[in-house]
Amino acid sequence: MAELFEVQCGGCGLTATVSGGRDRGFLCWSDTMYCESCGTLSDVLVKYANDPTHPESSPTPGESLEFGQCRSCGSKQLVLWRFGDPCPCCKGSIKKTGELCILAD
């Protein structure tokens, strides 16, 4: 189960729905990162959860997953972000505006 939170920056109005830290999904670990290229906050896949030493053993044949890349634009200009950190865009404070429990996987 993945827990996601809706967050909003009081300074620049940036909004996102993210886990706010390292999260383990069925296939992969993700980390919440800010993309400097397109200015979005999102959970970025960082590695496979089941077998990090054999990244080629994807449980979904034919599907290649991109790690360490922005899901929106594919950029690797990413900055790690956790709950409690200031807004990576304007250094304002980011607050939770909602909480979602998602039965992913």
CB of 80 to Zn ion, least distance (A): 14
Give the C-alpha separation, 7 to 32, whole Å.
12
90 touches Zn ion by CB under 5 A: yes
Closest-CA residue to 85 (of 70, 95, 76, 77): 95
What span, in angstroms and rounded, lies between the C-alpha atoms of 104 and 26? 8
Comparing CB distances to Zn ion, the nearer of 59 and 96 is: 96
Site for Zn ion contains 79 (CB under 5 A): no
Question: What residues line the site for Zn ion (CB under 5 A)?
Answer: 9, 11-12, 14, 35, 37-38, 70, 72-73, 75, 87, 89-90, 92
